[in-house]
Structure 1
Amino acid sequence: MLNAPLPMQRAMPNPHLAEYTRRMNRVLDHIDRHLDAPLDLATLASVANFSPFHFHRVFQAWLGETLGDYLRRRRLEIAASTLSTHPDEPVLNVALAVGFGSGEAFARAFKTRFGITPSDWRKQTPARWQAQLDAVRARQRDNRNPDQSDRNFDQAGTGTQEQDRASYTEMENAMNVTIQTLPPTRVAYLRHIGPYGPAIGQFWRGKFSPWVASHGLGANTTYGIGHDDPSVTSPEKCRYDAAVEVAADFVATGEVGIAELPGGRYAIAAFRGDVHTIGDAWMTLTRDWLPSSGYQFDNRPCFERYSGAPGDDRRREDFECDICIPVRPL
């Protein structure tokens, strides 16, 4: 049982699936909120309302890794993202914020995980983001021109880079970024664990939207919340929440969780496009808009905000949303 393929949910009877899912999601949310604190087995077992004696077995069966391995991975992945998005934050502060007792211990663990030092990781951020953006744009060109999939990105004489730059400028202008202060928002969510991309759309259409409609919440604002950086976290371990705004007296049942999107200052960009260009929009804002804006990332989740649940037409891939990035002044 302990070596069953991830995610373990698929092997469990449906009557128990929802309860296990809700409890384990609650543990993962608790871990993210307390990475700077000791996270012992007994405390996390209490959060899940499982026996401490059995909790480590349940956790490993559910996520495919031990509790200790998960905590180490999650701390290092959050640290890697923080080093990239907070270029002026001292490395020691980053280490302490994710639960390491010293800079030396953090540096050793980080190099073991990523193969380079924290400082070198930070220095390589611009090149890494450029490579990610190039990959996104290459996939877009392949989708538009399937017969030209073998063409190199920097092939001379194609005009591709110039077209991409013009496309970026057009996208940046169209998104019209504004700085707004949002209130805290109570949401109910369903969680997807696995690669981002087309699977997320299938998750919304096949599971989340029907649940929203069945509870009469179709007119409420919905949100897409990615908890992991796919350039750091393995695709099969990435977590994504599809969420809908709910009233204070709404009671979640089954695998549905309740969370609060924190309020505060956000950079908000209006996006209109499809599943192939949303990644480009995120990268454009992170790589090109943010560094020249006078703002930096704040330690709150990024999310996409939608006006109501998506429609039922499963053939459509185009949509509109607000991309919301938590920010604070430099």
Structure 2
Amino acid sequence: MTPADLSLHQYTLRMNRVLEHIDHHLDQPLELADLAQIAHFTPRHFHRLFNAWVGEPLGDYLRRRRLAHAAYQLASEPQASILEVALTAGFSSGEAFSRAFKQHYSVTPSSWRSSEPKRWHRRLSDVRERRLRELPNPDQTHIPGFDDPDAFIHLKEPLMNVTLKHLPPVPVACLRYTGPYGTGIGLFWRETAARWMIDNQLFNRVRYGIGHDDPSIIPAHQCRYDACIEVPAELISAAPATLSLLPGGLYAVAPYAGKGPDIADAWLELCRDWLPRSGLQLDARPAFERYPVYAPYDAQTGELECEICIPVKAL
């Protein structure tokens, strides 16, 4: 490994530690000096490096991440007041939050809260209609409830086989991909993650995929995804991967079999249809796709199998 490679690996590890810290502390003050200390840089050097590394100034990044978190919470937690959402997102007042939210999303928080669930329902309707059109019986291609795109969709039989499982914590090494979800993620797994697994003799391991952003509200080039590989607990260094721990606990687990890009529909059904009717709510732990050691994958067709796991807790 050349000195230049070592430097790049070290910068990657340091910056990933900062980004992980930010994600876990969006509701708290995040000062430049404190973040610079986490990265082991001077504040002046860190400020310039962050801009070059992430592609936007630190202040803009923090604001965007906080607003994206708030946008999701507004739509998925109707019991939380706008002030509670604002404080959770790190804003000092509801007024400051409302101004920032409208400037970023061009609508008020209350309008967003009203319109986003309807958009989710319309997407669910589109998914179901498309699936029903593929059925061999033409009489099964229409359900009256689909006439109202704003209505909740209920089918006689559940579309997903969901089970609740207590999963143990898992030490993992994570490699970060930033860019559009879809084919780029498959390419990242094959060209970057698989190579790292082979180099570190960790190829026959359980793998996890963590999509951190909602591509419907985050620009495609800023969406973040972690390709994670289960590693021995005693592993000390995994450069350029970052060592982390997937927390254990209660998860709703649904099997998925299909093409890679279509997995977004399964996520939608699990999070926007099954979860609201389950009597549970989403927990702050990361959701992920779990790929067993010998999970089938066809590089030519894009067909794959995995488990979709979302962390849940009681209401």
TM-score (norm. length: structure 1): 0.82
Distance 1:101 1:228 in 2: 24
Tell me if 1:178 matches 2:163: yes
The answer to whether 1:50 aligns with 2:41 is yes
Closer, same or farther in 2 for the Cα pair 1:84/1:313, shift >3 Å?
same
Preserved CA contact (<8 Å) 2:10 2:239: yes
The residue identity in structure 1 corresponding to 2:92 is G
The equivalent residue for 1:151 is none
Instruction: Output aligned runs, 1:170-249, within 5 Å.
Output: 172-173=158-159, 175-249=160-234
Alignment correspondent of 2:236? 251
Which whole-Å deviations, capped at 9, do the CAs of 1:50-85 have from their partners, x for residues lacking one?
A: 221211111111112110010111100011111122
Aligned with residue 112 of structure 2, among 98, 121, 126? 121
- Give the distance between the partners of 1:54 and 1:309, measured in 2 at CA: 45
The match for 1:103 among 74, 78, 94 is 94
Counterparts in 2 of 1:66 and 1:136: CA distance versus 1, 3 Å: farther
User: Match for residue 289 of structure 2?
Assistant: 304
Relative to structure 2, which stretch is displaced further, 312-321 or 23-32?
312-321
Q: Secondary structure at the match of 2:290?
A: strand
Cα drift, residue 321 of structure 1: 0.8
Measure the CA separation in 1 of the matches of 2:41 and 2:214: 29
- 1:15 offset after TM fit, Å? 4.8
> In 2, Cα distance between the equivalents of 1:206 and 1:199?
10
SS of structure 2 residue aligned to 1:17? helix
Deviation of residue 205 (structure 1)? 1.1
Q: Give matches, 1:1-330, under 5 Å.
A: 14-133=5-124, 172-173=158-159, 175-308=160-293, 314-330=299-315
Q: Find the aligned partners of 1:196 and 1:231 in 2 and give their Cα distance.
A: 11
Q: Cα 1:70–1:140, aligned 2, differ >3 Å: closer, same or farther? A: farther
Q: Per-residue displacement from partner, 1:163-192 (whole Å, max 9, x unpaired)?
A: xx8xx969944x410111222221101000
CA distance in 1, matches of 2:114, 2:18: 34
Name the structure, 1 or 2, with higher relative contact order (CA <8 Å, separation 6+). 1
**Separation in 2, partners of 1:176, 1:97:** 33
**Alpha-carbon deviation of 1:252?**
2.5
Q: Matches of 2:130 and 2:201 in 1, distance apart? A: 38
**2:34 and 2:80 mapped to 1: Cα distance?**
30
In structure 1, what is the equivalent of residue 151 of structure 2? none
What amino acid is the match of 1:212? M
For 1:123-152, what per-residue CA distance to the aligned partner results, in whole angstroms no more than 9, with x for missing partners?
1122221344467689999xx9xxxxxxxx
Contact 2:281 2:312 in 1 (8 A): yes
Q: Within 2, Cα distance between the matches of 1:50 and 1:136?
A: 48
- Please give the alpha-carbon distance, in whole angstroms, between the structure 2 residues aligned to 1:20 and 1:96: 32
> Contact (CA 8 Å) 1:136, 1:279: kept in 2 or not?
no
Unaligned runs of 5+ in 1: 1-12, 145-156
Which shifted more, 40-49 or 118-127?
118-127
| Other-structure match for 2:149 | none
Cα deviation, residue 99, structure 1: 0.9
Classify the secondary structure of the residue corresponding to 2:261.
coil
Moved more, 69-78 or 33-42: 33-42
The root-mean-square deviation of aligned C-alpha atoms, in Å, is 2.9
Distance in structure 1 (CA, Å) of the matches to 2:55 and 2:131: 33
Give the whole-Å Cα distance in 2 for the aligned partners of 1:74 and 1:307.
31
Percent identical pairs in the alignment equals 51
SS of 2:217's partner is coil
The size of the alignment, in residue pairs, is 302
Q: How many angstroms apart in 2 are the aligned matches of 1:99 and 1:73?
A: 12
Q: Whole-Å Cα distance in 2 between the matches of residues 97 and 224 of structure 1?
A: 26
Q: Secondary structure at the match of 2:289?
A: strand
Contact 2:171–2:246 (CA<8 Å) still a contact in 1? yes
AA aligned opposite 1:275: G
Code of the aligned partner of 2:18: V
Partner AA of 1:256 in structure 2: A
SS in structure 1 at match of 2:187 = helix
Cα gap change, 1:36 to 1:267, in 2 (>3 Å): same
Distance 1:246 1:56 in 2: 33
Find the aligned partners of 1:269 and 1:34 in 2 and give their Cα distance: 29
Bigger drift between 58-67 and 122-131 goes to 122-131
